[in-house]
Structure 1
Amino acid sequence: MLKPDKATLRKALRSRRKALGGFPRFLAIRQLEARLERLTRGLSLTAVAAYCAFDGEPELDGWLQRHRGQIWLPRVLPDHRLAFHHADPLTACSQRRMPRQRTNRFGITESADPRQRGINSLDALLIPLVGFDARGNRLGMGAGFYDRALAQRRGRRPLAIGVAFGCQEVEWLPVDPWDQPLDYIVTDTGVIDARASTGRTESS
Protein backbone atom coordinates (compact mmCIF):
# COMPACT_ATOMS: atom_id res chain seq x y z
CA MET A 1 0.00 0.00 0.00
CA LEU A 2 1.39 3.39 -1.02
CA LYS A 3 1.91 5.91 1.77
CA PRO A 4 0.61 9.45 1.16
CA ASP A 5 3.03 12.08 -0.09
CA LYS A 6 3.69 15.43 1.58
CA ALA A 7 1.20 17.39 -0.54
CA THR A 8 -1.62 14.97 0.26
CA LEU A 9 -0.78 14.93 3.96
CA ARG A 10 -0.44 18.71 4.07
CA LYS A 11 -3.91 19.24 2.63
CA ALA A 12 -5.53 16.76 5.00
CA LEU A 13 -3.72 17.95 8.13
CA ARG A 14 -4.33 21.65 7.44
CA SER A 15 -8.03 20.85 7.20
CA ARG A 16 -7.85 18.87 10.44
CA ARG A 17 -6.10 21.75 12.21
CA LYS A 18 -8.62 24.34 10.99
CA ALA A 19 -11.54 22.11 11.96
CA LEU A 20 -10.62 22.31 15.64
CA GLY A 21 -12.70 25.22 16.91
CA GLY A 22 -14.88 26.55 19.68
CA PHE A 23 -14.44 25.31 23.23
CA PRO A 24 -12.41 22.21 22.24
CA ARG A 25 -9.84 24.51 20.62
CA PHE A 26 -9.83 26.86 23.61
CA LEU A 27 -9.23 23.94 25.97
CA ALA A 28 -6.54 22.42 23.73
CA ILE A 29 -4.62 25.71 23.59
CA ARG A 30 -4.76 26.11 27.39
CA GLN A 31 -3.41 22.58 27.84
CA LEU A 32 -0.73 23.12 25.20
CA GLU A 33 0.40 26.40 26.75
CA ALA A 34 0.67 24.84 30.21
CA ARG A 35 2.93 22.08 28.87
CA LEU A 36 4.99 24.57 26.88
CA GLU A 37 5.45 26.77 29.93
CA ARG A 38 6.71 23.84 32.03
CA LEU A 39 9.09 22.76 29.28
CA THR A 40 10.60 26.19 28.60
CA ARG A 41 11.04 26.92 32.30
CA GLY A 42 12.47 23.48 33.00
CA LEU A 43 15.03 23.91 30.22
CA SER A 44 15.82 27.50 31.32
CA LEU A 45 15.05 28.90 27.88
CA THR A 46 15.28 32.68 27.92
CA ALA A 47 15.76 34.02 24.37
CA VAL A 48 13.03 32.24 22.42
CA ALA A 49 11.84 32.71 18.84
CA ALA A 50 8.05 32.37 18.84
CA TYR A 51 5.55 32.85 16.01
CA CYS A 52 2.30 34.66 15.25
CA ALA A 53 -0.42 32.11 14.54
CA PHE A 54 -1.67 31.71 10.97
CA ASP A 55 -3.87 29.25 9.08
CA GLY A 56 -5.29 27.62 12.21
CA GLU A 57 -1.98 27.30 14.09
CA PRO A 58 -2.22 27.30 17.91
CA GLU A 59 -2.18 30.82 19.32
CA LEU A 60 0.33 31.30 22.14
CA ASP A 61 -0.96 34.56 23.64
CA GLY A 62 -1.10 33.21 27.20
CA TRP A 63 2.36 31.66 27.04
CA LEU A 64 3.84 34.83 25.52
CA GLN A 65 2.45 36.99 28.32
CA ARG A 66 3.89 34.69 31.00
CA HIS A 67 7.29 34.15 29.38
CA ARG A 68 10.07 35.46 31.64
CA GLY A 69 12.57 36.24 28.93
CA GLN A 70 13.01 37.69 25.48
CA ILE A 71 10.78 37.02 22.48
CA TRP A 72 12.00 37.17 18.89
CA LEU A 73 9.68 36.77 15.92
CA PRO A 74 10.71 35.42 12.51
CA ARG A 75 10.75 37.77 9.53
CA VAL A 76 10.81 36.33 6.01
CA LEU A 77 13.56 37.99 3.96
CA PRO A 78 13.48 38.43 0.16
CA ASP A 79 16.01 35.59 -0.25
CA HIS A 80 13.69 33.24 1.72
CA ARG A 81 15.89 33.23 4.84
CA LEU A 82 14.50 34.00 8.30
CA ALA A 83 15.65 36.90 10.47
CA PHE A 84 14.59 37.10 14.12
CA HIS A 85 13.36 40.48 15.41
CA HIS A 86 12.55 41.58 18.94
CA ALA A 87 8.98 41.73 20.27
CA ASP A 88 7.55 42.55 23.70
CA PRO A 89 6.11 39.33 25.21
CA LEU A 90 3.14 41.28 26.61
CA THR A 91 2.03 42.56 23.21
CA ALA A 92 3.63 40.19 20.68
CA CYS A 93 1.27 39.03 17.91
CA SER A 94 -1.60 41.22 19.14
CA GLN A 95 -3.06 43.05 16.15
CA ARG A 96 -4.34 45.83 18.41
CA ARG A 97 -1.52 46.20 20.95
CA MET A 98 1.73 45.23 19.22
CA PRO A 99 3.46 48.62 18.76
CA ARG A 100 5.83 47.65 15.94
CA GLN A 101 4.38 45.22 13.48
CA ARG A 102 4.13 44.49 9.79
CA THR A 103 2.39 41.90 7.63
CA ASN A 104 4.45 39.86 5.20
CA ARG A 105 3.41 38.71 1.74
CA PHE A 106 1.79 35.60 3.19
CA GLY A 107 -0.42 37.62 5.53
CA ILE A 108 1.57 36.66 8.66
CA THR A 109 2.25 39.26 11.36
CA GLU A 110 5.95 40.06 11.84
CA SER A 111 7.87 42.36 14.16
CA ALA A 112 8.99 45.68 12.66
CA ASP A 113 11.40 46.29 15.55
CA PRO A 114 14.92 46.87 14.15
CA ARG A 115 16.58 44.84 16.92
CA GLN A 116 17.69 41.49 15.54
CA ARG A 117 19.48 38.32 16.68
CA GLY A 118 21.15 35.50 14.80
CA ILE A 119 19.78 32.00 15.15
CA ASN A 120 22.75 30.71 17.14
CA SER A 121 22.24 33.35 19.83
CA LEU A 122 18.76 32.01 20.58
CA ASP A 123 17.93 29.32 23.12
CA ALA A 124 15.02 27.83 21.19
CA LEU A 125 12.72 28.18 18.21
CA LEU A 126 9.01 27.48 18.62
CA ILE A 127 7.97 26.13 15.24
CA PRO A 128 4.36 25.74 14.10
CA LEU A 129 3.61 22.43 12.43
CA VAL A 130 1.19 21.14 9.84
CA GLY A 131 1.96 17.57 10.89
CA PHE A 132 4.47 15.53 12.90
CA ASP A 133 5.40 12.05 13.98
CA ALA A 134 6.84 10.69 17.23
CA ARG A 135 10.35 10.53 15.76
CA GLY A 136 10.55 14.32 15.54
CA ASN A 137 9.85 14.67 11.84
CA ARG A 138 7.82 17.74 10.93
CA LEU A 139 5.63 18.75 8.03
CA GLY A 140 5.50 22.48 7.41
CA MET A 141 3.68 24.65 4.89
CA GLY A 142 6.17 23.70 2.19
CA ALA A 143 8.32 26.81 1.77
CA GLY A 144 11.28 25.43 3.75
CA PHE A 145 11.94 28.58 5.80
CA TYR A 146 12.56 26.75 9.07
CA ASP A 147 14.57 23.98 7.44
CA ARG A 148 16.97 26.55 6.00
CA ALA A 149 17.18 28.37 9.34
CA LEU A 150 17.82 25.22 11.38
CA ALA A 151 20.50 24.07 8.94
CA GLN A 152 22.55 27.06 10.14
CA ARG A 153 22.51 26.16 13.82
CA ARG A 154 25.50 24.79 15.68
CA GLY A 155 25.13 21.81 17.98
CA ARG A 156 21.91 21.50 19.97
CA ARG A 157 21.26 25.24 20.30
CA PRO A 158 18.85 26.62 19.56
CA LEU A 159 16.49 23.79 20.39
CA ALA A 160 13.84 23.14 17.77
CA ILE A 161 10.47 22.84 19.54
CA GLY A 162 7.47 21.99 17.40
CA VAL A 163 4.05 23.28 18.46
CA ALA A 164 0.85 21.63 17.27
CA PHE A 165 -2.44 20.08 18.29
CA GLY A 166 -2.42 16.38 19.11
CA CYS A 167 -4.80 15.72 16.20
CA GLN A 168 -1.99 16.65 13.79
CA GLU A 169 0.14 13.63 14.70
CA VAL A 170 0.57 10.89 12.12
CA GLU A 171 2.27 7.51 12.39
CA TRP A 172 4.74 8.22 9.58
CA LEU A 173 5.95 11.27 7.65
CA PRO A 174 7.98 11.20 4.43
CA VAL A 175 11.42 12.77 4.99
CA ASP A 176 13.64 14.52 2.46
CA PRO A 177 17.42 14.97 2.90
CA TRP A 178 17.03 18.69 3.65
CA ASP A 179 14.37 18.23 6.35
CA GLN A 180 15.54 19.29 9.81
CA PRO A 181 14.24 17.18 12.73
CA LEU A 182 12.76 18.58 15.93
CA ASP A 183 14.12 18.18 19.45
CA TYR A 184 10.75 18.42 21.20
CA ILE A 185 7.11 18.54 20.16
CA VAL A 186 4.54 20.13 22.47
CA THR A 187 0.83 19.50 22.01
CA ASP A 188 -2.34 19.59 24.08
CA THR A 189 -2.03 15.85 24.68
CA GLY A 190 1.64 15.56 25.68
CA VAL A 191 5.29 16.36 25.09
CA ILE A 192 7.51 14.31 22.82
CA ASP A 193 11.25 14.33 23.50
CA ALA A 194 12.32 13.35 20.01
CA ARG A 195 15.94 13.08 21.10
CA ALA A 196 15.16 10.24 23.50
CA SER A 197 14.85 6.69 22.27
CA THR A 198 11.70 6.24 24.36
CA GLY A 199 9.86 8.88 22.34
CA ARG A 200 6.83 10.24 24.17
CA THR A 201 6.84 11.60 27.71
CA GLU A 202 3.48 12.74 29.03
CA SER A 203 3.19 15.97 31.01
CA SER A 204 0.99 16.11 34.05
Structure 2
Amino acid sequence: MTLHHSQLDKTKLRRTLLKKRQSMHTNEWREKSDRICTQLQTSTLFTQAKTILAYFSFRQEPDLSPLFTDNKYRWGFPRCVGKSMHWHFWNSEDSLAIGSYGISEPHPHAPVIKPEEVDLILVPGLACDRQGYRLGYGGGYYDRLLSSPEWATKPTIGIVFDFAYIPQIPVEHWDKPLHFVATETKLSKL
Protein backbone atom coordinates (compact mmCIF):
# COMPACT_ATOMS: atom_id res chain seq x y z
CA MET A 1 0.00 0.00 0.00
CA THR A 2 1.48 3.36 -0.92
CA LEU A 3 1.06 6.25 1.43
CA HIS A 4 0.24 9.49 -0.31
CA HIS A 5 1.79 12.78 0.67
CA SER A 6 -0.69 13.95 3.30
CA GLN A 7 -0.58 10.63 5.18
CA LEU A 8 3.20 10.85 5.38
CA ASP A 9 2.87 14.44 6.58
CA LYS A 10 0.32 13.38 9.20
CA THR A 11 2.61 10.60 10.46
CA LYS A 12 5.51 13.02 10.79
CA LEU A 13 3.34 15.69 12.39
CA ARG A 14 1.92 13.16 14.88
CA ARG A 15 5.40 12.09 15.91
CA THR A 16 6.66 15.67 16.33
CA LEU A 17 3.65 16.86 18.32
CA LEU A 18 3.51 13.80 20.54
CA LYS A 19 7.20 14.20 21.35
CA LYS A 20 6.71 17.89 22.11
CA ARG A 21 3.72 17.19 24.34
CA GLN A 22 5.40 14.40 26.24
CA SER A 23 8.52 16.49 26.84
CA MET A 24 6.50 19.06 28.81
CA HIS A 25 7.41 19.26 32.46
CA THR A 26 4.59 18.01 34.72
CA ASN A 27 4.15 21.42 36.34
CA GLU A 28 3.82 23.15 32.97
CA TRP A 29 1.37 20.48 31.78
CA ARG A 30 -0.71 20.89 34.94
CA GLU A 31 -0.70 24.68 34.77
CA LYS A 32 -1.64 24.83 31.08
CA SER A 33 -4.33 22.18 31.58
CA ASP A 34 -5.81 24.23 34.42
CA ARG A 35 -5.84 27.30 32.18
CA ILE A 36 -7.75 25.35 29.52
CA CYS A 37 -10.28 24.37 32.20
CA THR A 38 -10.67 28.07 33.05
CA GLN A 39 -11.22 28.93 29.35
CA LEU A 40 -14.02 26.37 29.28
CA GLN A 41 -15.57 27.49 32.57
CA THR A 42 -15.86 31.07 31.30
CA SER A 43 -17.49 30.07 28.01
CA THR A 44 -21.29 30.19 27.75
CA LEU A 45 -21.19 27.22 25.40
CA PHE A 46 -19.84 25.20 28.31
CA THR A 47 -21.78 26.75 31.19
CA GLN A 48 -25.13 26.34 29.41
CA ALA A 49 -24.54 22.66 28.63
CA LYS A 50 -26.04 19.97 30.84
CA THR A 51 -24.56 16.78 29.42
CA ILE A 52 -20.97 17.00 28.22
CA LEU A 53 -18.88 14.32 26.55
CA ALA A 54 -15.24 14.47 27.60
CA TYR A 55 -12.15 12.25 27.77
CA PHE A 56 -9.59 11.03 30.29
CA SER A 57 -6.14 12.46 29.59
CA PHE A 58 -3.69 10.05 28.00
CA ARG A 59 -0.07 10.66 26.95
CA GLN A 60 -0.06 14.20 28.38
CA GLU A 61 -3.22 15.35 26.62
CA PRO A 62 -4.62 18.45 28.32
CA ASP A 63 -6.11 17.20 31.58
CA LEU A 64 -9.70 18.31 32.14
CA SER A 65 -10.27 16.21 35.26
CA PRO A 66 -10.66 19.23 37.61
CA LEU A 67 -13.93 19.90 35.76
CA PHE A 68 -15.32 16.40 36.30
CA THR A 69 -16.05 16.94 40.00
CA ASP A 70 -18.61 19.63 39.09
CA ASN A 71 -21.90 17.81 39.54
CA LYS A 72 -23.81 20.62 37.85
CA TYR A 73 -22.98 18.71 34.65
CA ARG A 74 -23.59 15.14 33.60
CA TRP A 75 -20.35 13.75 32.22
CA GLY A 76 -19.98 11.15 29.52
CA PHE A 77 -16.83 9.26 28.53
CA PRO A 78 -16.01 6.90 25.69
CA ARG A 79 -15.40 3.19 25.68
CA CYS A 80 -13.72 1.96 22.52
CA VAL A 81 -15.44 -1.19 21.33
CA GLY A 82 -14.12 -2.58 18.07
CA LYS A 83 -14.13 0.33 15.64
CA SER A 84 -16.68 2.45 17.45
CA MET A 85 -17.01 4.50 20.61
CA HIS A 86 -19.77 3.88 23.12
CA TRP A 87 -20.53 6.72 25.53
CA HIS A 88 -21.37 6.15 29.19
CA PHE A 89 -22.26 8.39 32.10
CA TRP A 90 -19.58 8.63 34.78
CA ASN A 91 -19.19 10.75 37.89
CA SER A 92 -16.22 11.26 40.19
CA GLU A 93 -17.49 8.71 42.73
CA ASP A 94 -17.52 5.90 40.14
CA SER A 95 -14.55 3.63 39.59
CA LEU A 96 -12.96 3.23 36.17
CA ALA A 97 -11.81 0.38 33.96
CA ILE A 98 -8.72 0.34 31.74
CA GLY A 99 -9.61 -0.03 28.07
CA SER A 100 -7.87 -1.69 25.16
CA TYR A 101 -5.51 1.26 24.56
CA GLY A 102 -4.54 1.56 28.21
CA ILE A 103 -6.90 4.53 28.57
CA SER A 104 -9.24 4.86 31.56
CA GLU A 105 -12.87 4.37 30.66
CA PRO A 106 -16.25 3.79 32.36
CA HIS A 107 -17.28 0.22 33.13
CA PRO A 108 -19.38 -1.51 30.44
CA HIS A 109 -22.38 -1.59 32.83
CA ALA A 110 -22.36 2.22 33.35
CA PRO A 111 -25.51 3.90 31.93
CA VAL A 112 -25.32 4.55 28.18
CA ILE A 113 -25.71 8.08 26.77
CA LYS A 114 -27.97 8.66 23.79
CA PRO A 115 -26.98 11.31 21.22
CA GLU A 116 -30.11 13.39 21.87
CA GLU A 117 -29.05 13.88 25.51
CA VAL A 118 -25.72 15.47 24.60
CA ASP A 119 -25.14 19.25 24.57
CA LEU A 120 -21.41 19.51 23.97
CA ILE A 121 -18.45 17.33 22.97
CA LEU A 122 -14.90 18.07 24.20
CA VAL A 123 -12.61 16.43 21.66
CA PRO A 124 -9.01 15.45 22.38
CA GLY A 125 -6.36 15.37 19.68
CA LEU A 126 -2.73 15.94 18.87
CA ALA A 127 -3.44 19.20 17.06
CA CYS A 128 -6.15 21.46 15.61
CA ASP A 129 -5.78 23.95 12.80
CA ARG A 130 -7.32 27.35 12.13
CA GLN A 131 -10.03 25.74 9.98
CA GLY A 132 -11.13 23.47 12.81
CA TYR A 133 -9.60 20.26 11.47
CA ARG A 134 -7.99 18.03 14.06
CA LEU A 135 -5.14 15.60 13.97
CA GLY A 136 -6.05 12.49 15.94
CA TYR A 137 -4.06 9.33 16.55
CA GLY A 138 -5.14 7.69 13.31
CA GLY A 139 -7.86 5.40 14.70
CA GLY A 140 -10.67 7.42 13.11
CA TYR A 141 -12.97 7.08 16.15
CA TYR A 142 -13.99 10.75 16.32
CA ASP A 143 -14.23 11.08 12.51
CA ARG A 144 -16.68 8.17 12.42
CA LEU A 145 -18.63 9.56 15.36
CA LEU A 146 -18.88 13.11 14.01
CA SER A 147 -19.90 12.01 10.54
CA SER A 148 -22.90 10.03 11.79
CA PRO A 149 -26.09 12.13 11.40
CA GLU A 150 -27.19 11.94 15.06
CA TRP A 151 -23.83 13.33 16.27
CA ALA A 152 -22.93 15.68 13.40
CA THR A 153 -24.99 18.61 14.74
CA LYS A 154 -23.47 18.61 18.25
CA PRO A 155 -21.22 21.53 19.18
CA THR A 156 -17.60 20.37 19.42
CA ILE A 157 -14.59 21.96 21.11
CA GLY A 158 -11.13 20.66 20.21
CA ILE A 159 -8.87 20.68 23.27
CA VAL A 160 -5.17 21.30 22.55
CA PHE A 161 -2.22 23.22 23.94
CA ASP A 162 -1.24 26.44 22.15
CA PHE A 163 1.76 24.87 20.42
CA ALA A 164 -0.61 22.33 18.83
CA TYR A 165 -3.02 24.95 17.46
CA ILE A 166 -1.37 25.22 14.07
CA PRO A 167 -2.12 26.98 10.74
CA GLN A 168 -2.96 23.88 8.71
CA ILE A 169 -3.27 20.11 9.00
CA PRO A 170 -3.29 17.84 5.93
CA VAL A 171 -6.98 17.02 5.39
CA GLU A 172 -8.65 13.87 4.05
CA HIS A 173 -12.15 13.94 2.55
CA TRP A 174 -13.62 12.18 5.61
CA ASP A 175 -12.20 14.66 8.15
CA LYS A 176 -14.86 16.67 9.94
CA PRO A 177 -14.02 20.17 11.19
CA LEU A 178 -14.76 21.08 14.81
CA HIS A 179 -16.75 24.18 15.80
CA PHE A 180 -14.38 25.63 18.42
CA VAL A 181 -10.84 25.15 19.72
CA ALA A 182 -9.79 25.74 23.34
CA THR A 183 -6.16 26.28 24.29
CA GLU A 184 -4.64 27.67 27.49
CA THR A 185 -4.82 31.22 26.06
CA LYS A 186 -8.11 31.37 24.16
CA LEU A 187 -11.32 29.76 23.01
CA SER A 188 -11.76 30.31 19.27
CA LYS A 189 -14.90 29.95 17.20
CA LEU A 190 -14.09 28.48 13.80
Say whether the fold is shared (TM-score over 0.5): yes
Which structure 2 residues correspond to residues 78-97 of structure 1 after superposition, within 5 A? Answer: 78=82, 80-88=83-91, 91=92
Cα distance in 2, alignment partners of residues 77 and 180 from structure 1: 21
Preserved CA contact (<8 Å) 2:90 2:110? no
- Aligned mates of 1:62, 1:154 — CA distance in 2: 29
Counterpart Cα distance in 2 of 1:18 and 1:67: 31
Change (3 A) 1:65 1:161: same
Distance in 2 (alpha carbons) for counterparts of 1:173 and 1:187: 17
Q: 1:156 to 1:106 in 2, by over 3 A?
A: closer
Q: Which amino acid aligns with 1:117?
A: I
Residue of structure 1 aligned with 2:48, choices 44, 67, 78: 44
- Cα pair 1:16 1:168 within 8 Å, conserved: no
Note the 1:40-79 alignment, pairs <5 A.
44-66=48-70, 68-78=72-82
**Structure 1 residue 124, shift from structure 2 partner:** 1.2
Q: Distance in 2 between matches of 1:140 and 1:40?
A: 26
CA distance in 2: counterparts of 1:190 and 1:134, whole angstroms: 13
- What percentage of aligned pairs have identical amino acids? 24
**Alignment coverage as a number of residue pairs:** 184
Contact 1:101 1:109 in 2 (8 A): yes
The answer for the alignment partner of 1:94 in structure 2 is: none
User: For the Cα contact (< 8 Å) 1:127–1:163, is it kept in 2?
Assistant: yes
Query: Is residue 142 from structure 1 mapped to residue 138 from structure 2 by the alignment?
Result: yes
> What is the deviation of 1:22?
3.1
Task: Give, in whole Å, the separation in 2 of the partners of 1:110 and 1:169.
Answer: 26
> Helix, strand or coil for the counterpart of 2:138?
coil
| Structure 2 CA distance for partners of 1:52 and 1:139, relative to 1, 3 Å | same
Report deviation, 1:185: 0.7
**Structure 2 residue aligned with 1:180:** 176
**C-alpha displacement of 1:154:** 4.2
List aligned pairs for 1:85-164, cutoff 5 A: 85-88=88-91, 91=92, 99-112=94-107, 113-154=109-150, 157-164=153-160
Q: Hey, what does 2:34 align to over in structure 1? A: 30
SS at match of 1:116: coil
Query: How big is the shift at 1:174?
Result: 0.6
Give how far 1:31 is off: 1.0
Asked if the contact 1:36/1:63 (under 8 Å) is kept, the reply is no
Structure 2 gaps of 5+ residues are none
Residues 142-161 of structure 1, C-alpha deviation per residue, up to 9 Å, x if partnerless? 10001101111448642111
Q: Whose helix fraction is larger, Structure 1's or Structure 2's?
A: 2
- The letter of the residue matching 2:49 is L
Q: Deviations over 1:55-77 (max 9, x none)?
A: 11011121222352100101111
Change in CA separation of 1:48 and 1:154 when aligned onto 2, cut-off 3 Å:
same
Distance in 2, Cα, partners of 1:147 & 1:120: 19
1:129·1:163 contact (CA, 8 Å) conserved in 2?
Answer: yes
* Aligned-CA RMSD value: 2.0
The partner residue of 2:19 within 11, 15, 22 is: 15
TM-score w.r.t. the length of structure 1 is 0.83
Structure 2 counterpart of 1:110, one-letter code = E
